[in-house]
Every structure is written in C-alpha cells, then in structure tokens.
Amino acid sequence: MVKVAVVPLTTRGVLEFIDNLVTEVEGALKEAGLVGVEVIAWPDVVKPPMKCFSWDRAQYHANCVVRHLKEVFQVVKATSSTLVIGVGYLDGYEHGLNFVFGEALPGQGVAVVFTKRLRPEFYGEKADYTLYFERLVKETLHELGHLLGLEHCTGSCVMRFSNSVYEVDEKPGHYCDLCRAKMLRYYMSSTK
C-alpha cells in the first residue's frame, strides 16, 4: 500500500482546508485508477528552515525546502512507501526562475507546493476561496504526478507546465488518459 502524506509547512493558508485537500487528492487518484492509495494529513506543521529563505528575494529556495522535507521524513520513507508533499503559504523560487508553484524529487518521493501565488489576493484581486482551493488541488496533483513517474504533458492535463497562475486556471484538475496510463504502469511496477 502506498501512502501520500500531505504535510503542512505553515499554519496560515493550509490547516483550514487540509482535510478537504486530502479528500480531493485521494478522489483524483482513485479516478485515475490508483486504488489502494491512502492520502493522509500529517498531524504536525513542518516549518522550512531559515537557511532556505532568501532575504534578497523574500522567497524560499524550492530545492532547499524539498530536501529539508526529505531529511525530516527519512525514517518514515525508509520504513514505508510513503510519498511526502509539503504544502505551505510560502513563495518559492528556483535558480533561473522568478518563482515556482512547486518542486518534486521524483526518485526521492518528496515534493513541495508553494501556495502564496495561488491566492487571488496576491494579484490584487478579491479573495476567492474556491478559486484558491482549485489551484491548490491542481498544483498538488501536478507535483504528485511527478512523484508517480510523470513528466510535463502538452495535452489537456493537470501535468501541463504552468508559467503563470492563469495557466493553472486553464488546465483541468485531472490527469489525461495518456498520463493516467503511464502513472498506473509506474504505480503497478513500484508496488510489486
């Protein structure tokens, strides 16, 4: 049995809807044919270390945060087939990019989703919980897809790369048939 642990990285912008996020992610995985995957909300907040924060940019270095999660969950990952996705109301970047919505270490089973730029208020728009949550689900499924063997997709798929929040809005909240088949093959081979 594969578990997916959704780990809050911040209290703000995450804890109030983590149970709904877990339900949505689990439903999307079942819809994609991955039965037997249990998605859980991690009970503790795992704050990223300040060494990952760039004071010049006022952002967190994505690779540093995801590697921190890998270290924190090293024992859990060594004793089970648990995928870890950290979710936090943070702004992330990667070298050469102004920002990222998330980052995954597929071979390590660890990913992170940064939610600050998913909020409409970040762009001076009116608060919209439903839109924010839809964006969060899409980006969580996207990073989870990477952990389950998927690369970026050019079709109508949640695995399509998003260079802006408006591109997140344009893509669907599910995997395309091709990505579902790839993910199912990866899942079946990794659970043998």
Enumerate the active-site residues. Answer: 143
Q: How far is CA 86 from CA 5, 17, 41, 121, in A?
A: 8, 14, 10, 22
Q: How far is CA 61 from CA 101, 122, 148, in A?
A: 11, 19, 23
Interatomic CA distance for residues 181 and 163, integer angstroms: 25
Other beta carbons within 10 Å of 99: 17
Structure tokens at 121: 């208020």
Q: Is the dihedral of CA 186, 167, 16, 176 positive or negative?
A: negative
Q: Locate tokens 């999307």: which residue? A: 28
Q: What is the CA radius of gyration of the chain?
A: 15
- The torsion defined by the Cα of 124, 22, 81 and 111, in degrees rounded to 10, comes to 0
Selection from 146, 155, 115, 148 nearest residue 21 by Cα: 115
